[in-house]
Amino acid sequence: SQSESWIERMKENVMGSVEDGYEGSWLPHPEEQLFLDQLFAFMERHGAPIHKVPNLGFKKIDLFLMFSVVKRLGGYKKVTMERLWKVV
């Protein structure tokens, strides 16, 4: 569907990798690493530390991709008000 292809394009744009010089090695996109560091610190401060990658059913949730898509769609309030969570 059109929304799925948009999501795939968004993922390709957002989820770049950075080679660190070793064959087959991969580091997260710098913005992703900053986002995850801030998210983990926030959750820790609020007494809800993240100990493992969240999942929905048996699919792991890519938190940075989800954040990026929600931001691109106008933010949490807009996504919720316009019932766009299925698109996300």
Each residue's pLDDT tens digit, 23-55: 445 556 778 889 989 999 999 999 999 888 888
The neighbour count for residue 39, using CB atoms within 10 Å, is: 14
pTM as predicted? 0.64
Q: Enumerate the domain spans of the chain.
A: 2-81
Q: Check residue 57 and give its pLDDT.
A: 86
Contact by Cβ (8 Å): 64, 36 = yes
Contact by Cβ (8 Å): 77, 85 = no
Q: What angle do CA 41, 33, 75 make, to 5 degrees?
A: 75
